[in-house]
Amino acid sequence: MTNKTNTGNYNTGYFNTGYCNTGDCNTGEYNTGEYNTGDYNTGNCHVGCFNTVSAKKAYYFNRLIDIADWDKAKKPDWFSRVSPTTWIPELKMTEGEKSDHPYYKTTSGYLRTNDMKTTWAEAYANASPEDIELTKALPAFDAEVFLEITGIDLSDKVVDAPCEGREVEIDGVTYVLKLKGDTE
């Protein structure tokens, strides 16, 4: 029996979606290797079809970068809590789920398809500040792309803090900040 994180048929490995994939984190059909999207790929990190050599570059946050740079980067732990599916054992299935997924009698449950933005939000709620910083430090990180995919805004926001009355020291002289145009 395949790992419960697989969807589709005849998958081996982990987190595969599609049919007849071998390896880890493949999406599509008939892939061997790891992190392939598309069909009939051997090797690693392919998007497309009928590739046999491992790719040297790939797109991350819509930018083409060296895969080695991505591989060397420390990844945040909270990413591992994001999954497109969740195994729901028979004992936790609702009557509606049992009706919609009658094969649960054979499999003792079913794979629920998760709303990905909700799943990202749940994982983010439990992410450490260190993991958030690791996320922003990923090669080619783009906050707008990340927001579009996850629904999570990690842009560095400029805080519009009032400055009137604050003191600034420059070359030993203290200045009190006032609103522009204020002469009093």
Q: For residues 4 and 110, what is the distance between their CA atoms, to the nearest angstrom?
A: 9
- Give the pLDDT of residue 2: 44
pTM value is: 0.62
- Give the pLDDT of residue 177: 76
Instruction: List all residues 6 or more positions away from 92 whose beta carbon is below 8 Å from its beta carbon.
Output: 109
DSSP secondary-structure letter at 31? Answer: -
Query: Which two structure tokens, joined as six digits, stand for 52?
Result: 């046999």
Instruction: List all residues 6 or more positions away from 180 whose beta carbon is below 8 Å from its beta carbon.
Output: none
* Cβ proximity of 174 and 167 under 8 Å: yes
Domain ranges of the chain: 1-55, 72-184
Q: For residues 36 and 112, what is the distance between their CA atoms, to the nearest angstrom?
A: 23
For helices 116-125 and 143-150, what crossing angle results, to 10°? 110
Residues of the chain with pLDDT under 70: 1-4, 10, 19, 29-30, 38-42, 45-49, 158-163, 179-184
The residue type at 166 = R
Q: For residues 121 and 125, what is the distance between their CA atoms, to the nearest angstrom?
A: 6
- Give the pLDDT of residue 133: 96
The residue type at 57 = K
Q: Cα separations (Å) of 126 from 38, 80, 115, 129, 146?
A: 32, 12, 17, 10, 17
Instruction: List all residues 6 or more positions away from 99 whose beta carbon is below 8 Å from its beta carbon.
Output: none
**Model confidence pLDDT, tens digit, residues 72-113:** 999 999 988 888 788 899 999 999 999 999 999 999 999 888
